Amino acid sequence: MAPQQKQRQFRVALVQMAICSNKEKNLVRAAQKVKEAKQAGAYLVILPECFNAPYSTSTFDEYAEEIPSGPSSRAMSEMAKQNQVYLVGGSIPERSSNRLYNSCSVWDPKGNLVTVFRKVHLFNMDIPGICTFSESEAFTPGSELAVFDIGGCRVGLGICYDMRFPEWAALNRDQGVDFLIYPGAFDTYTGPIHWDLHLRSRALDNQMFVAGVCGARDTSASYVSYGHSLLVDPWGRIMVEADEKETILYQDIDMKHCDEVRKQIPLNKQRRVDLYDSKKQ
Ligand SMILES: O=C(O)CCC(=O)C(=O)O
């Protein structure tokens, strides 16, 4: 279902794909999934975080490429063009001016690059014996919003750990975002406790659709992804959720739902921004 100029409804596909250490194979797999999603009527297709490479600080440099000239960008552009869909390209390790970023590129149905979002909050966690990860050893953080329109729907982006920062979601809301998308790769320790809670909270706080799209779980990988991709509505309800296996989730969404919820509980009109600056208290 393709939205007209002002139309605000379409089908979204959340691709929870299996990811391996062979970049070529990951790109071929992603292309198959995007084709399958198109055949099922999706107009917006979302891939997971780091979909073309293992999620590992020791190999980000080896897999990194420039956007839009690298092979993964060219492949994503083709996927979008051949299937005439909007593609939110999860993320890939991006190389730019001797720096690495964890970056999400977005492609329109003609295969043109719409925007690039660089993960703003880098995943640094140290839970001894359970999960230790330091993205900031490899990546430089981004510092810019990336907001774009699909028909009458305004879309915003974060990547995984970014969902832990409600301020980022609120900045997107202030730009008029109706649908906030987080490609992700939560681990199996924080995942069961925090993943849906964060995604539901961001949706509820900001009265918008929120998607989290993870890779499928591979217990032989150095970093084991939680899976459980899901989509939340502006009322904070989970509309669809995967288990840990490879799958594609589909959901028709209508931005009218955001308008209704925002009218019923007018949080935006009631914010006491005059009170929220702690320096002024
Ligand atoms: O915040 C977490 O628990 C996991 C974050 C993560 O896996 C990521 O940012 O890729």
How many C-alpha atoms does 141 have within 13 Å on its Cβ side?
13
Around ligand 1, the residues with Cβ closer than 6 Å are 49, 123, 160-161, 164, 185-187, 190, 194
DSSP annotation of 153 reads E
Q: Residue 207's closest CA among 124, 275, 269?
A: 269
Pocket test for ligand 1, best of 117, 161, 197 (most atoms within 8 A of CB): 161
Predicted pLDDT of residue 3: 54
* Measured distance CA(235)–CA(217) in Å, rounded: 29
Q: How does pLDDT run across 11-59, given as a tens digit for each residue?
A: 999 999 999 999 999 999 999 999 999 999 999 999 999 999 999 999 9
* Contact partners, residue 165, CB within 8 Å, separation at least 6: 120, 121
Domains and CATH numbers, the chain: 10-280 (3.60.110.10)
Q: Which pair of tokens denotes residue 199? A: 């995604």
pLDDT in single tens digits along all 281 residues of the chain: 555 556 799 999 999 999 999 999 999 999 999 999 999 999 999 999 999 999 999 999 999 999 999 999 999 999 999 999 999 999 999 999 999 999 999 999 999 999 999 999 999 999 999 999 999 999 999 999 999 999 999 999 999 999 999 999 999 999 999 999 999 999 999 999 999 999 999 999 999 999 999 999 999 998 899 999 999 999 999 999 999 999 999 999 999 999 999 999 999 999 999 999 888 77
**CA nearest ligand 1 atom 3, residue:** 190
Predicted pLDDT of residue 222: 87
* Catalytic machinery residues: 49, 119, 160
